[in-house]
């Protein structure tokens, strides 16, 4: 019975989609059972079956949703429910689950266990639309089964298939105007050699004529599954006979068949991903993901993980964007949206989906589209309501969490960027407690105003940060192949949204702006490429290089609106000038986006980009409660993934920004007695924000830099040759020594070092853990004699002993504070009786290059520590080196593990002079050759040898650190160390081939270099790392929530880009050598 039910499932699907046919013959050839069933005709409202072993009135399980009408007959098809073909007055009646087996059987068609082909007899065949509906029921299944059928026909199998069984279902037609009314006709199955019948080709009498095709000719072409999609018959015919994309040129135009070419692009992506499979099972499961444009179901997602994750990690990396899903919550709050649709079928589907359990957002959106709701367009009331985030349920736990963390504490830090007091107040209200009730007002009154561009950019930086690279777009193709440019939303969703924007503009001939509708001329004729670029720019959101702004420039706005708006339909007081005044910045010096850069494909000459630079964490391949971190030990492939997923915490009920477990964050205090915006420090602990302690409230007052001058909070300025910043009344400058000042004039004793200390290398160790080249430089950094140990910071266990039964293990760190109550501890004592397996994982590496789970395991194995962190690859494990921070390391790997670049081989023996060039600064030191002599780079301050890469100098607030130290009390102060700051900055880098390293300079600012991890880097890799450094500088200077939310980064106040090119380095170098020559001779 199960087989018969399965046959009826397929056959009646075909009938319901072809009711306009007066006479239809369908043959189903199941290779396993070899059952042949011929269907002859239909009658108004009932399926009449001749064979005695079938019921006279047949209920059937359909697998799609649609309504078909022919005369007095309406066939309603409901996905996943048992329905019946009925009269118009009769509704669909859900029935028992007896056909579940039939559904499973029908789904196995995709594996070609069943083959099917159809032919039409009579003077009138089904219309093109009915056949298209048939195909759209199960496009992959339909075409694969056709292919398998004709392969079988070529071998003569269908003949044997026909002779084995002659079960026939007859259906009579009683339509008043139907040909042969009341007659019963027996259909003969077509012969095996009958070619596939294309239903869109018709002769002069309107009768469908067969077109000879060889279905097996292009069976290996991945695009075959897309053949049901084209709108034109010529394109469908070209697809059916095609062996590759190149065969489509004559029959298909990409501008007319956008969905079809999107399908082809998906299949190409599938070939690329699945081609990395190392076994057939993984390849097969991977292929299933790309056969449909819908999100893979849960079993398929689980299966691809089980079959590919261990043996083919490249496949998992490639398919991450296609299998990522988000659990749906509080769906009952969206039920009212269903009634906003104009289509009854959509309303019904919507309610059924929202009442389901254990579904994902992707499955709901897919189901709504298949259920008649159309593509998600924010312009439609239904989708606007459905896509709007819901307010979380106000349980006591939720309320307490909102009180502690707020709705979105990361975005709250943007509120002080508002230009108007009302927007600042509304911003604070929205992101503390009242997001659900205040968001619409805040969005309309503030975020849509051109005057609040800084506020809008700051908020965008939380959910959609500007990241390097754009590729893989099928509509906004001019945005592809741009690996060193910044974009906020380069993804397939934004690409599809841009496509829909253009379609809506073309269909409606109007552009909707906040509070205004602009009637347009025919944009297909009026600068169509410009309008496409406008749509792509609005959706893909390219960022300016330094300010991360994404407004379209004023001149571009004026040009587009002047030419293409139908001003005859506008009121006289509107003009291109008045409208653009609210859309784009007036100041020509303000950063903005120029469309000219995206009207044509880029001409950068880059080839094979993905082999040079890639961003494994783009799109976040991890779970909803995890954060993605680059795994620099695994960027060259192998059996591991180039990223790791670690637990994290979201900074609010509706926040998408996460920090890793163990991170200290700054969160606003939410009460009415907090007009100054006071903060508290909390810790992310096992997915929860807790252990909160209030910070001292500090007014954001200006800095007085001499009567009558003052600098506002957040301003940067220069004092003589020093770059300074003002933060809450604190005047922050580096210790840079100026060659001349306004007060004293030129300094004849100028040595380039702070306090004009002589360039002698007699290292001392400060209590802050920093290694200073001399006592003079340590005292210049405000250390007292009691804070200085006259020896380099080598092994802290030599001068410190642990209690009996404990072993000392070095744990060097550089602290931004020095307090007797909270010493900057450089070691830890390991108890010999501790069970190390009960301690958390914190890997360390021994001098023998053996990795241990934690320092306890290393001590119990009596091993010697090389460095903290996992054992690194692609570096030298032996050979002493000098770091650019003036500290000696046991190996190159040890220096890199301390996030320090190597200056030269051997022990540190000299301090380099300080300049603004990319030149060698120490005559007696042998420097390694640069990977590219013309690269952007700099010689780090106090170092000897130049480096390639993006270089920054960062200023930080000591008072901010002291306030945090006071608030932390007895808590761990490691978050206020240099290492914690550098690790947090390194998390902002997304390009896997770049790494951030840095140190505390003798000028008491922080030097940061973003360098490539490659030994022989390409020009693209070098440029990408420079752009990553510039991105970090922008985040610091904008005081992005990604900087000010984290305690480790919140003290940073100003970043300056200091890398130089070869030409400027040479010019400056000549001047520096001529100036320093007398001093060097004197010292020698």
3-class secondary structure per residue, 429-458: HHHHCCHHHHHHHHHHHHHCCHHHHHHHHH
Q: How many domains does the chain have?
A: 3
Q: 166 and 50 in one domain?
A: yes
Token reading at 360: 């994902």
Q: Which residues contact 708 (CB under 8 A, 6 or more apart)?
A: none
Token reading at 204: 């002069």
Single out the residue of 1022, 1048, 805 nearest to residue 933, CA to CA. Answer: 1022
DSSP state of 43: B
- Residue 169: inside a domain, yes or no? yes
What's the 3-state SS for 54-74? CCCCCCEECCCCEEEEECCEE
Q: 476 and 380 in one domain?
A: no
Cβ pair 681, 665 in contact under 8 A: yes
Q: Is 871 helix (H, G, I), strand (E, B) or coil?
A: coil
d(CA 850, CA 862): 12
Token reading at 448: 């849509």
d(CA 1050, CA 1043): 6
pLDDT of residue 64: 34
Q: 108 and 8 in one domain?
A: yes
Q: Is 210 helix (H, G, I), strand (E, B) or coil?
A: coil
844-846, strands of its sheet edge to edge: 851-852, 844-846, 865-868
Rg of the chain taking only CA atoms, in angstroms: 35
The answer to whether the Cα torsion of 998, 999, 1000, 1002 is positive or negative is negative
Q: If 0-12 CB within 10 Å is exposed, 13-18 middle and 19+ buried, where does residue 1062 land?
A: middle
DSSP string, 538-568: HHH-EE-TTT---PBPHHHHHHHHHHHB-GG
Phi first, then psi, for residue 714 (nearest 5°) are 90, -5
Domain that holds residue 343: 336-384
Q: 512 and 379 in one domain?
A: no
- Residue 145: inside a domain, yes or no? yes
- Residue 761: inside a domain, yes or no? no
Final residue of a domain: which of 189, 214, 231? Answer: 189
pLDDT of residue 403: 63
Q: 181 and 72 in one domain?
A: yes
Q: 184 and 38 in one domain?
A: yes
Predicted model pTM: 0.66
- Residue 1016: inside a domain, yes or no? no
Token reading at 706: 């001499």
Final residue of a domain: which of 189, 207, 235? Answer: 189
Cβ pair 290, 322 in contact under 8 A: yes
- Residue 24: inside a domain, yes or no? yes
pLDDT of residue 379: 64
Q: Is 693 helix (H, G, I), strand (E, B) or coil?
A: strand
CA distances from 723 to 547, 715, 726, 1003, 1005 (A): 19, 11, 11, 12, 11
Token reading at 609: 């980009």
Q: 475 and 591 in one domain?
A: yes
Torsional class of 195: left (φ above 0), alpha (ψ -120 to 50), beta (otherwise): beta
Buried b (16+ CB within 10 A) or exposed e, 1010-1026: bbbbbeebbebbbbbbb
- Residue 861: inside a domain, yes or no? no
Q: Which residues contact 831 (CB under 8 A, 6 or more apart)?
A: 805, 806
d(CA 555, CA 582): 13
d(CA 340, CA 334): 11
- The count of other CB atoms within 10 Å of the CB of residue 54 is 18
- Residue 222: inside a domain, yes or no? no
Q: Which residues contact 731 (CB under 8 A, 6 or more apart)?
A: 703, 705, 711, 724
- Residue 769: inside a domain, yes or no? no
Token reading at 1073: 């050598």
Residues of the chain with pLDDT under 50: 1-216, 391-399, 673, 1063-1084
| E runs forming strands in 773-890 | 788-789, 806-810, 827-831, 844-846, 851-852, 865-868, 881-883, 888-889
Q: Is 832 helix (H, G, I), strand (E, B) or coil?
A: coil
Single out the residue of 413, 404, 438, 455 nearest to residue 657, CA to CA. Answer: 413
Final residue of a domain: which of 349, 384, 419? Answer: 384
DSSP string, 171-188: -----TT-TTTT---PPP
Token reading at 867: 């460095």
Q: 478 and 370 in one domain?
A: no
């Amino acid at each position: 019975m199960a087989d018969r039910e399965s046959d009826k499932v397929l056959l009646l699907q075909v009938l319901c989609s072809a009711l306009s046919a007066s006479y239809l013959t369908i043959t189903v050839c199941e290779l396993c059972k070899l059952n042949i069933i011929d269907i002859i005709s239909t009658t108004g409202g009932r399926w009449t079956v001749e064979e005695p072993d079938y019921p006279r009135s047949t209920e059937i399980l359909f697998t799609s949703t649609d309504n078909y009408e022919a005369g007095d007959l309406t066939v309603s098809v409901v996905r996943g429910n048992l329905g019946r073909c009925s009269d118009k007055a009769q509704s669909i009646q859900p029935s028992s689950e007896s056909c579940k087996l039939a559904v499973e059987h029908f789904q196995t068609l995709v594996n070609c266990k069943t083959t099917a082909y159809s032919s039409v007899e009579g003077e009138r065949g089904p219309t093109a639309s009915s056949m298209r509906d048939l195909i759209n029921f199960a496009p992959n299944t339909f075409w694969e089964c056709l292919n398998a059928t004709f392969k079988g026909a070529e071998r003569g199998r269908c003949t044997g298939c026909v002779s084995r069984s002659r079960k026939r279902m007859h259906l009579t037609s009683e339509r008043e105007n139907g040909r042969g009314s009341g007659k019963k006709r027996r259909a003969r199955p077509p012969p095996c050699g009958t070619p596939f019948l294309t239903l869109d080709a018709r002769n002069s009498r309107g009768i469908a004529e067969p077109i000879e095709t060889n279905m097996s000719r292009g069976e290996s072409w991945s695009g075959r599954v897309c053949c049901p999609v084209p709108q034109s018959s010529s394109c469908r015919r070209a697809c059916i006979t095609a062996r590759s994309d190149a065969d489509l040129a004559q029959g298909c135009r990409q501008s007319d068949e956008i969905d079809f070419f999107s399908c082809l692009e998906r299949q190409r992506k599938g070939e690329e991903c699945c081609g990395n499979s190392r076994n057939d099972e993984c390849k097969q499961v991977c292929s299933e993901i790309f056969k449909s444009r819908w999100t893979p179901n849960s079993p398929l997602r689980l299966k691809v993980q089980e079959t590919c994750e261990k043996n083919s990690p490249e496949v998992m990396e490639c398919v991450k964007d296609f299998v990522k899903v988000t659990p749906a919550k509080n769906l009952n709050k969206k039920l009212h949206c269903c009634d906003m649709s104009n289509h009854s079928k959509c309303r019904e589907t919507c309610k059924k989906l929202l009442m389901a359990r254990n579904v994902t957002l992707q499955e709901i959106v897919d189901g709504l589209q298949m259920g008649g709701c159309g593509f998600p367009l924010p312009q439609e009331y239904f989708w606007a309501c459905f896509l709007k985030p819901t307010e979380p349920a106000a349980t006591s736990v939720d309320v307490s969490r909102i009180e502690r963390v707020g709705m979105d504490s990361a975005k709250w830090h943007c509120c002080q960027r508002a230009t108007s007091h009302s927007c600042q107040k509304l911003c604070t209200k929205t992101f503390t407690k009242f997001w659900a009730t205040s968001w619409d007002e805040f969005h309309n009154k503030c975020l849509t105003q051109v005057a609040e561009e800084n506020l809008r950019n700051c908020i965008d930086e939380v959910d959609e940060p500007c990241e390097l690279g754009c590729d893989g777009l099928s509509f906004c193709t001019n945005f592809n192949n741009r690996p060193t440019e910044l974009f906020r939303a380069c993804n397939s969703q934004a690409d599809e949204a841009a496509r829909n924007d253009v379609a809506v503009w073309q269909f409606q001939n109007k552009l909707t702006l906040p509070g205004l509708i602009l009637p347009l001329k025919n944009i297909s004729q009026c600068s169509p490429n410009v309008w496409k670029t406008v749509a792509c720019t609005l959706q893909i959101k390219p960022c300016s290089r330094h300010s991360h702004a994404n407004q379209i420039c004023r001149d571009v706005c004026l040009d587009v609106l002047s030419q293409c708006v139908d001003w005859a339909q506008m009121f006289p007081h509107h003009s291109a000038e008045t409208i653009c005044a609210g859309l784009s910045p007036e100041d020509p010096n303000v950063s903005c986006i120029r469309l000219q850069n995206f009207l044509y494909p880029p001409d950068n000459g880059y080839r094979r980009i993905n082999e040079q630079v890639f961003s494994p964490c783009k799109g976040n391949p991890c779970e909803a409660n995890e954060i993605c971190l680059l795994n620099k030990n695994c960027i060259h492939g192998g059996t591991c993934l180039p990223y790791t997923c670690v637990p994290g915490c979201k900074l609010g009920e509706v926040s998408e920004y996460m920090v890793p477990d163990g991170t200290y964050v700054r969160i606003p205090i939410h009460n009415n007695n907090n007009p100054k915006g006071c903060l508290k420090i909390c810790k992310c602990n096992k997915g929860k924000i807790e252990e909160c302690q209030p910070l001292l409230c500090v007014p954001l007052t200006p800095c007085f830099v001499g009567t009558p001058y003052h600098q506002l909070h957040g301003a940067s300025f220069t004092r003589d040759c020093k770059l300074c910043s003002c933060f809450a009344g604190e005047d922050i400058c580096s210790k840079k020594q100026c060659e001349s000042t306004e007060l004293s004039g030129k300094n004849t004793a100028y040595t380039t070092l702070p306090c004009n200390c002589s360039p002698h290398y007699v290292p001392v160790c400060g209590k802050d853990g920093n290694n200073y080249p001399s006592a003079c430089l340590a005292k210049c950094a405000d250390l007292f004699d009691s804070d200085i140990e006259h020896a380099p910071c080598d092994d802290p266990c030599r001068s410190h002993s642990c209690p009996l039964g404990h072993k000392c293990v070095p744990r060097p760190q550089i602290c931004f504070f020095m307090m007797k109550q909270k010493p900057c501890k450089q070691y830890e004592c390991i108890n010999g009786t501790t069970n190390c397996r009960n301690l958390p994982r914190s890997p360390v590496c021994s001098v023998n290059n053996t990795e241990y789970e934690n320092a306890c395991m290393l001590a119990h194995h009596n091993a010697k520590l090389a460095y903290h962190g996992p054992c690194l690859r692609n570096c030298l494990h032996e050979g002493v080196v000098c770091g650019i921070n003036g500290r000696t390391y046991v190996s190159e790997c040890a220096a890199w593990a301390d996030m320090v670049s190597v200056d030269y081989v051997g022990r540190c023996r000299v301090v380099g002079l300080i300049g603004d060039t990319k030149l060698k600064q120490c005559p007696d030191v042998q420097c390694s050759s640069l990977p590219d002599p013309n690269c952007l780079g700099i010689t780090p301050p106090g170092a000897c040898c130049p480096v390639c890469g993006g270089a920054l100098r960062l200023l930080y607030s000591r008072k901010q650190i002291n306030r945090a130290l006071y608030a932390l009390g007895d808590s761990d102060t490691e978050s206020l160390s240099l290492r914690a700051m550098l690790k947090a900055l390194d998390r902002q880098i997304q390009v896997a081939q770049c790494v951030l390293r840095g140190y505390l300079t003798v000028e008491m600012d922080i030097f940061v270099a973003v360098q490539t991890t490659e030994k022989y880097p390409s020009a693209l890799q070098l440029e990408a790392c420079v752009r990553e450094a510039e991105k970090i500088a922008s985040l610091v200077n904008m005081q992005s929530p990604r900087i000010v939310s984290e305690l480790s980064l919140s003290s940073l106040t100003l970043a300056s880009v200091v890398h130089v090119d070869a030409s400027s380095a040479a010019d400056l170098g000549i001047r520096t050598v001529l100036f320093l020559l007398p001093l060097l001779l004197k010292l020698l």
